[in-house]
Structure 1
Amino acid sequence: MRESGSEKLHEECGVFGVYDRGEAGDVAALTYYGLYALQHRGQESCGMAINDDGVFTLHKDVGLVNEVFTPEKLTALGGGRMAVGHCRYATTGTRSRSNAQPLVVRHIKGSMALAHNGNLTNAAELREKFELEGGIFHTTSDTEVIAYAITKERIHAPSIEAAVGSAMGQLAGAYSLVISSPSKLIAARDPVGFRPLCMGRMGESVLFASESCAFDAVGAEFVRDIEPGEIVVVDAQGVRSIRDHCGGPTAMCVFEFIYFARPDSVIDGSSVHIARQRAGAFLALQHPVQADVVIGVPDSGLDAALGYAKQSGIPYDIGFLKNKYIGRTFIAPTQKQRENDVRIKLNPIASVVRGKRVVLVDDSIVRGTTSLKIVKLLREAGAKEVHMRLSAPPFLYPCYFGTDIDSSEHLIAYRHTVEEIRSIIEVDSLGYLDVNCLDKLADNSKCGFCSGCFTGKYPVEPPKKSQKSKFEKKISGQK
């Protein structure tokens, strides 16, 4: 369940797929470990569909990967040559088992399993169009809109990949897809490339995943990223690429490098770990301060803190112990416990901060509530001064492409100046990353970056407020 007033941003989901040519073995187990490696991308629900010669077996539910897929459930999924997996955090649609993915649909040309990472900006108008044509929807997710668009095109298209290509001409916004037909595994990425998607190999077997860390987890080799607009098809004849939608301007979400992705992943040619260290180095140059120690907020602030320390020459140390047995889905049962949730998750190491001037590095401030609690923990542990540094610019605008920033009104930086925020969260100084540094974080990336949540400038037209409101009312059952 999404925590009301949650300080951290959430990314919609992670996708995984495998086409086994004999080396992969148990594709259900392989997908389990792949999803486990992608758990950080979505902790509300998960699922997988196993394809055994065109017969699809699906299991999905609300919960973490190790909760949903018990050994008995994995055994019940049986064997097969292909699998599609998904872990989800909802930005469009409610938290429920019906909205968990993959979606498995049966249409006139067979069956299809689909997993989606991203957010459509024209979901409302497409859904209304399909409903007026007689379409019936069983979920409140925009992923079902994608599935309907593909199966509708499949009626006349000569192949499933042709149907995907035709459907892509109708879809707007962010979507990285892994799709299984009875005989093919397909990966597709939107032409702008908002969300990452990559391909790996295990011998002759082919895998797709949101991040390369999933390949490391299963012992596969990272091959390359799927290009923005590209469709990759794997079948008995081999691997082939369709680039009809490639070649336009690209703009991957820069927050993948700042927070969403795992630091051990390589995205579009650039190391996430190095990009975060680079952000910290920029912060040290832009916001220097006299201090005794640099610490990071686990886990996303650690790499940037290391970069700050290296650039500034201030010693780096571990300032917090994180309780790794409490995930983002943790919900305290009482108001008092909710107020102390940060204390339950993080505990400062007093010997590191007592009597010292501390540089505290985190990825961002969304609403400010959690930052205030963390600063108070350091003060109580004896920190003499706390200087906060953020490896992202101030959040000022909504995101329409798969992040749960739905309006500016909930963002502290939209309502307050930097000096006011400094006072609210009770730090001695506060410094954000300069927005002009974003293009320098991932110097090997072949993609441009979307920084709309910082600048208000989006690479594609955002949905109209009237359309977004109408869609939200429709999926919530309101008239």
Structure 2
Amino acid sequence: MLAEIKGLNEECGVFAIWGHKKAAEMTYYGLHALQHRGQEGAGIVSSDGSKLYLHKGIGLVNDVFQEGRIQQLQGSSAIGHVRYATQGGGGYDNVQPLVFRSQTSSMALAHNGNLVNAFALKTQLEAQGSILQTTSDTEVVAHLIKRSGYMQLEDAIKQSLGMIKGAYAFTFLTENQLFVALDPRGLRPLSLGQLGDAYVVASETCAFDLIGAKYMREVKPGELIVIDKNGLRSTSFSSPMRRSLCSMEYVYFSRPDSNINGQNVHASRKVMGKQLAKESFVDADVVTGVPDSSISAAIGFSEASGIPYELGLIKNRYVGRTFIQPSQELREQGVKMKLSPVRGIVEGKRVVMVDDSIVRGTTSRRIVRLLKEAGATEVHVRIASPPIVNPCYYGIDTSTKGELIAANYSIEEMRDQIEADSLAFLTVEGLEQSIVTENDMAQGICHACFTGQYPTEIYPDTVIPAYKD
């Protein structure tokens, strides 16, 4: 049996604001909106123009910023971060933002993504005398900036970004400037907004909605935005490249109320469900989705197939995420605690269970069992993405093929393992057709986890594997 470790983890989330008298408070709310992107740690750094203030910790945003903590973060600018452990692992030291202080100034930085050449750069830096304080790949950039030799921070940042490879959305905060950068292929989502006279940056637009900010535009691949007392200025640190936005943002990671490249995520997922029904119709009585990210695709499948959509699974929102359980046995029990079948809906019915993805298979098998134990006569599993058969090196914790059920078994073997009556996936072509944006970016997505076609050069022997609990 394929070794199961834990479920698919989101990357991280970044938020930044400049020119607001309640910068830390706005960042706190922004991080709440991005909580789904990281639940292992959170932090905020603020600036009052002369000093940086930091508070960070392990846990959810509410746990980290208990009463009185926000009031200690003074100033009108701030950056924040919510985190899952990817490169470097967990622990307080790796919680971001990271702060670096020198005799002349200080700098904080927060990063969403993963650097594929971090190991090589760390080796080089250590040989040159750098002493790294964390095991995070993010720290590498700070050392590169300090060693650049440039007097102007903007030039140092540009040079340093030119040396790193992989996926990254960066925010840098000093006492008097905010810098925002997106990798040359735009693997991560990053948006720019405005709240009154203040500028706001966030991994997802849902953070703008929560604080009442107005969406302005996407941060462009290879763009460096500089914000200070003189306003906002855009420059670039890389030549334009074809964008390769992570397709899993559309499939799973982003909140349904967020927009990516002008397209609402919920709407995209509905189209994926409709396309899935066209490609893999099955005669059944009801369609249900696995809460929460699969509900949109399930609705689309129902509309295209004519099979009624029903709420066949209920999510218990007061149970912790199952992937953090310390053993596989407890992890499987955690699925049962987290999801409950609605017997009155599925009993005696042929059920189409729509999910967003299958990574390791354990959760799918447990849900199929739940539905059958509740009386479903058949359970047909339909996945609104292609099979994940390749590791991701850009910030998702699937670093080896051995963890991926689709990389080791045929679809029929997978169907047997998850105990479904049938199993089908959305095709890569169907996924691309489902992602329609205002900038016609449907073909500009990264689907390396489905096809093995990585948008950047990968060095499997030197890439630090994503951390596993």
Task: Give TM-score, length-normalised by structure 2.
Answer: 0.95
Is 2:83 the partner of 1:83? no
- Whole-Å Cα distance in 1 between the matches of residues 145 and 321 of structure 2? 33
1:135 paired residue number: 130
- Whole-Å Cα distance in 1 between the matches of residues 234 and 96 of structure 2? 25
1:26-41 paired onto structure 2 within 5 Å:
26-41=22-37
- Whole-Å Cα distance in 1 between the matches of residues 50 and 125 of structure 2? 27
Q: Alignment partner of 1:72: what SS?
A: coil
Q: 1:108 to 1:367 in 2, by over 3 A?
A: same
2:216 paired residue number: 223
Q: Is the 8 A contact 2:6 2:324 kept in 1?
A: no
- For residue 409 of structure 1, report the CA deviation from its aligned partner: 1.1
- Whole-Å Cα distance in 2 between the matches of residues 403 and 336 of structure 1? 24
Q: 1:372 to 1:329 in 2, by over 3 A?
A: closer
With 115-124 and 456-465 compared, the bigger mean Cα shift is at: 456-465
Q: 1:330 to 1:444 in 2, by over 3 A?
A: closer
Q: 1:459 aligns with which of 455, 459, 469?
A: 455
Is 2:115 the partner of 1:120? yes
1:13-412 paired onto structure 2 within 5 Å:
13-20=12-19, 24-77=20-73, 79-107=74-102, 109-153=104-148, 155-158=149-152, 160-328=153-321, 331-332=324-325, 337-412=330-405
Provide the aligned C-alpha RMSD in A. Answer: 1.9
Q: Give CA-to-partner distance per residue, 1:239-290, whole Å, 9 cap, x none.
A: 1100342421220110000001001001122211111111101110000111
Q: 1:186 to 1:268 in 2, by over 3 A?
A: same
Q: Is the 8 A contact 1:7 1:368 kept in 2?
A: no
- For residue 8 of structure 1, report the CA deviation from its aligned partner: 2.7
Q: 1:316 to 1:212 in 2, by over 3 A?
A: same
- Whole-Å Cα distance in 2 between the matches of residues 132 and 437 of structure 1? 48
Q: Is the 8 A contact 2:251 2:269 kept in 1?
A: yes
2:8 paired residue number: 9
Q: Is the 8 A contact 1:43 1:329 kept in 2?
A: no
Equivalent pairs: percent with the same residue?
Answer: 47
Q: Give CA-to-partner distance per residue, 1:394-418, whole Å, 9 cap, x none.
A: 1111111111111111111111110
Q: Alignment partner of 2:159: what SS?
A: helix
Q: Alignment partner of 1:150: what SS?
A: helix
- For residue 318 of structure 1, report the CA deviation from its aligned partner: 1.0
Q: Is the 8 A contact 2:161 2:237 kept in 1?
A: no
- For residue 441 of structure 1, report the CA deviation from its aligned partner: 2.4
Q: Alignment partner of 1:340: what SS?
A: helix
Task: Give TM-score, length-normalised by structure 1.
Answer: 0.93
* Count of residues in Structure 1 that have an aligned counterpart in Structure 2: 463
Q: Is the 8 A contact 1:295 1:360 kept in 2?
A: yes
Q: Alignment partner of 1:360: what SS?
A: strand
- For residue 107 of structure 1, report the CA deviation from its aligned partner: 3.1
Q: Alignment partner of 2:186: what SS?
A: coil
1:417 paired residue number: 410
- For residue 334 of structure 1, report the CA deviation from its aligned partner: 7.5
Which blocks of at least 5 consecutive residues in structure 1 are unaligned? Answer: none
Opposite residue 189 of structure 1, the aligned amino acid is L
Q: Give CA-to-partner distance per residue, 1:37-84, whole Å, 9 cap, x none.
A: 00111111110101111301111111010000002222222x201101
- For residue 445 of structure 1, report the CA deviation from its aligned partner: 5.6
Opposite residue 110 of structure 2, the aligned amino acid is A
Opposite residue 55 of structure 1, the aligned amino acid is K
Flag as ranges the 4+ runs of structure 1 deviating above 3 A. Answer: 4-7, 329-339
- For residue 333 of structure 1, report the CA deviation from its aligned partner: 6.9
Q: Is the 8 A contact 2:4 2:328 kept in 1?
A: no
- For residue 101 of structure 1, report the CA deviation from its aligned partner: 0.1
Q: Is the 8 A contact 1:14 1:117 kept in 2?
A: yes
With 338-347 and 444-453 compared, the bigger mean Cα shift is at: 444-453
Q: Is the 8 A contact 1:228 1:246 kept in 2?
A: no
With 442-451 and 95-104 compared, the bigger mean Cα shift is at: 442-451
Q: Give CA-to-partner distance per residue, 1:315-361, whole Å, 9 cap, x none.
A: 11111111112242675577754431111000011111111111100
Q: Is the 8 A contact 1:227 1:246 kept in 2?
A: no
Which blocks of at least 5 consecutive residues in structure 2 are unaligned? Answer: none
Q: Alignment partner of 1:257: what SS?
A: helix
Q: 1:429 to 1:96 in 2, by over 3 A?
A: same
